[in-house]
Structures are given as C-alpha cells and as structure tokens.
Amino acid sequence: MELHDSPDGHPGAPGGVTSPCAMVMFGAGGDLTKRKLMPAIYNLAQTHMLPLQFAIVGVSIEPYSEDEFRDRMTSDIREYSVDGVDMSVWNQFVNRLYYVSGDFQDPALYKKLGETLARVEKEQGTSGNILFYLATSPVFFPIVVKQLGAAGLARQEGRKWKRVVIEKPFGHDLASAVELNRAVGEVLEEKQVYRIDHYLGKETVQNILAFRFANGIFEPIWNRRYVDHVQVTVAEELGVELRGGYYETAGALRDMVPNHILQLITLCAMEPPISFEADSVHDEQIKILRAIQPMSPERVLDQAVRGQYAEGLIGGAHVPAYRSEPHVAPDSQTPTFVAAALHIDNWRWADVPFYLRTGKRMAERLTQIVIRFRRPPFVLFRKTLVEKLPPNELVINIQPKEGISLRFEAKIPGPIVRLGAVNMDFQYSDYFGTTPSTGYETLLYDCMMGDPTLFQRADMVEAGWTVVQPILDVWKALPPRDFPNYAAGTWGPSQADELLRREGREWRNPEPAQGRRSDPSAVRSAPSAAPVRKP
C-alpha cells in the first residue's frame, strides 16, 4: 500500500493527496467494513490518494486485541479486494491499524477511543483530523453522535477537522428523518455531516452533470418540448439474502426511493448550477425535490405499484419466494418491488412523467436512466409502408457496465429506403480503461477532502421523505391483497407495465441475452419498418 506525504494539517489539493487524518470505523467487525470500506481504502492508497500520515481505528463490540484485528483485516482484504492484493505492500500498512472494543452506548468506550486517537496522532502524525464512519445499524446513529459530542471528540479546534459519515437509511419515514436531523444537529455543524449513498460514487452518476452541461448538443433539448418521459430503473437479481430482518422493516420503497432513485432524478432534472460547489449543486437539487407534485391518496392508488416476488428461476436456478427467505414472516406484506410515476411541476418538466421502478429478484441486475424523446411528425412517411417512427432514446447505464447509448433511426444502405434502429454506444472501460472500485473510493476521498457535493444535505433528506410519505401512508392503511404478485426472474408485476401502457408507453427492458451482439463496439441495425422504394 503506497501512502504519500501531505503538508501537515493542510487540506489536500484538488485531485491530489488528502490531508493527514485518522479514520474511525464504528462497526469495524461488520460486513460493510470488510467487503467495501477496507478494499476502498486499499484502492485509494494504490492510486496514490492517501498520505503517509494516515491510520484506521476500528471500533466494534467484538473483543479483539489489536493484533487480532490486524489479522482479521489481512484475511478479509485477501478475500474481498476487487483486483487482488500485493501483500508486500499491504504489510507496510498493517501497523497503521488500531482497534478499540466496547459498547456503543457506554461512555467508557469513547474515553478509550479518545486515548487511542491521541496515540495515533503522536505515532502516525495525523494532525488531529478525524473521519468518523458509522458503519452500524441505524439505531446507533444518534447514539454514537451524541456520545462523540459528550466526549468532546467531535469538537473542531483551529485547523483540525472532525467529520462524521452516516450510512443510509437516514430515517425510516419523514418524522424519523426530521428527528435524526435534529439529534445530529445538536452535536455537529451541517458541514461536518456526510450522509453517504454509495450509488453516487458510480462514475456514470457523476458524469450525468458533465454530460448535460459540457455538451451543447444535449442541454437545449433537455426539456418538456423535446422529452416525452424519463425512466429510472434500479433492478437487482439478488433477493434479500440474510438481510430479511432489516428488509422486513424497510421494503423496496424505503430502501431505494428516498435516496438512490430521487438522487438520480434530481441530477437528471435540475437546472444548471452556477458552479460545482456543493451548495450550488444541492440548491438546484432541492428545487427539484420541492417541485415534485404531492401525491394524494387517490393518486397513490392510481400511479404507484407495489409487488413481492414469488419463487422462480434466476440464471436457470430455482430461487425461493420472499416469504420463504430467512428472517421473513410467512405472511409478510413487505414490498420487494416499487414502481411509480412522479411529476415535476416547473417550467422545464411540466407534463413530463418521471417513471421509477426498483425491485429484488428481477430478470437482470441493471441500473439505468432512459431519456425518451418525442416522436417526430409522421407526414413524410404517410404514403409509404412505414407504420411508425420509433422514438429516439438516450440511455445512461450505471451498472453493471457504465456507459451511455443513443438510439436513433437511419437509412439502411441500398437502393430501397429502409429504416433501421442504430445504437451508438459508449462504455467507460473502452475509452478510459478500468480501475478497481467498490463504489466507495470517490466518496471516502471526498470526505477526507471536505467536498460534500455527492452527499445529501439535511433539507434534501427531508424533502425526499416528503415525496415518499404519502405512498407509505396509503400502503400502511391498505395492505396488499395479491402478494406475491411477480415471479422471481421477471421484470415485476403486470400492474407496473399497465402504469405505462395506459398512457401509450412501455418500459425499456434489455434485450434477451441471446439477442445481444457479442461485440459491444459494433453498430446494430434492425429494420423498424417494411422497405419503401424511393419515389
């Protein structure tokens, strides 16, 4: 692991090494630490983004000694590193790992933590800068923050910074989000709080703003005059795995919509900010959230769909129904699928529906944004055999392969006029290569650099829950009668298709695997109408 010198106490320069700091991981014995956070830290070091004056302090209930914690992290990094580990390099880093054991509710833990941080600052030269990462159950978020405040560990003095990273979910409804914001705000300044959503660490998500505002050919048509509608799909092949206990209290709506999906929608719909400063970007995002039309109970019934997966086939293998998963009630009413139509009531987007859907055990792992443009006038083709003109589409693929695709109509070469759909595809890996990534590297780097652009501000969190709350209220009052209502391995319940079909639209689903071209750089042409001879 390669660590690099950074001026003591000074913020890292943009695009360079971060300032010296210690990273305190609450929940260091959990899955998030070993699967995502430690591999991300390793990747940052390998790309020369971490200073020599850097250390990690693990905090958890498990009674490890410091040596046992180091051995555990060594074993975990071997197993979970994205692109393998150079152990000779990793071994140089082991002595920068520290550990404190205790109960998160016990003030004695924070006294021990303070003593350990003082030792770390002396031994590793971290300059008193500390990044606290709450990789814990949400129930501990206010507890840990309060204890950090009581112990004086969150207090900023001089040029020494203290920042706290809070994982989602940030609340489970509007009231709890407001209360959590209040509890955090009693201890921390807003600029110290980083509400993290790993989806925003994806390169394509960040590229939405660059794509929109750095290319003059797209922004002029990015509005209600040219766009028919927008689709946002976040689909997962996986079920709830061993997270049934958590998922029973959350469900697809709480788990994905107030954070992941609404963040994607705001980035697609926002007006150009005056700069890439965090507050400038957030100010435009919050305008979009506040412009989303509130959903009345009648509208919820008409424009929101919920589902729960039954047993089915994924990749040719049988998978169980949600109600048969571990830690799930046999008569569970928890939705594992959500679809809805949202409307943004402003000058740019009035009358343009934003359709969203997300679900577990769907046909394919896929996160994409589809901008479907309005159809051109048909008059030119009225006396031909062409039956219709398919709409142009811009597709922003976020996972599993990050890239952008534009579909348009073109004439197929030859003496007869034939139209074919052409896909112009761009994939990041083809142009810029690939780097090992867990999705957390950019976000952790930004936390250490003090850049909150990709994190949610308190008012954004509450505005997101305000959008979702009417749906939660109606669904709580009217339990579903048809669960389970879609088979695992499909694209969700038929009601989601009907949501678009009754307005003359349809979801954009990927082509079946056998129908895809093997060469991603090749151009695909498929006739969209019968041939017509030139007049």
Same domain, 149 and 232: no
Extended strands (E) in 30-182? 54-60, 97-101, 130-134, 162-167
Co-location of 73 and 131 in the same domain? yes
Examine residue 91 and state whether it is found in any structural domain, yes or no. Answer: yes
Alpha helices for 129-243 (secondary structure H): 141-150, 174-185, 203-213
> Domain ends where: 121, 151, 167?
167
Q: Are residues 142 and 240 in the same domain?
A: no
CA distances from 435 to 87, 409, 490 (A): 19, 34, 32
Residue 186 lies in a domain: no
- Domain identity same for 270 and 153: no
208 and 342 share one domain: yes
Task: Please check whether residue 463 lies inside any domain of the structure.
Answer: yes
Q: Tell me the two tokens of residue 389.
A: 């003109």
Domain match, 141 and 236 both: no
DSSP annotation string for 202-220: SHHHHHHHHHHHS-TTTGG
Last residue of a domain, one of 167, 185, 216: 167
Domain encompassing residue 46: 21-167
196 found inside a domain: no
Total domain count for the chain?
2
CA distances from 331 to 255, 326, 475, 482 (A): 20, 13, 16, 11
Q: In this structure, are 153 and 262 located in the same domain?
A: no
If we measure between CA atoms, which residue out of 250, 249, 214, 198 comes closest to residue 441? 198
- 172 is an active site residue: no
Q: Are residues 146 and 254 in the same domain?
A: no
Residue 175 domain-assigned (yes or no): no
Task: Give the other-Cβ count within 10 Å of 431's Cβ.
Answer: 8
Per-residue pLDDT of the chain in tens (535 residues, 90 and over written 9)? 455 554 443 334 445 788 899 999 999 999 999 999 999 998 888 888 888 899 999 999 999 999 999 999 999 999 988 778 888 778 878 889 999 999 999 999 999 999 999 999 999 999 999 999 999 999 999 999 999 999 999 999 889 999 999 998 899 999 999 999 999 999 999 999 999 988 787 776 778 988 999 999 999 999 999 999 999 999 999 999 888 888 999 999 999 999 999 999 999 999 999 988 899 999 999 999 999 999 999 999 999 999 999 999 998 999 999 999 999 999 999 999 999 999 999 999 999 999 999 999 999 999 999 999 998 775 565 655 556 678 899 999 988 888 899 998 877 787 766 777 888 898 877 877 766 677 899 999 999 999 999 999 999 999 999 999 999 999 999 999 999 999 999 999 999 999 999 999 999 998 765 444 433 333 333 444 434 444 3
114 domain-assigned: yes
Write the CATH number for 407.
Answer: 3.30.360.10
**In one letter, which amino acid is 8?**
D
pTM for the full model? 0.88
Query: From CA 176, how far away is CA 197, in angstroms rounded?
Result: 18
Whether 9 is in a domain gets the answer no
Neighbours of 528 (CB within 10 A): 17
| Residue 172 lies inside a defined structural domain of this protein | no
Q: Which of 172, 198, 260, 282 is catalytic?
A: 260
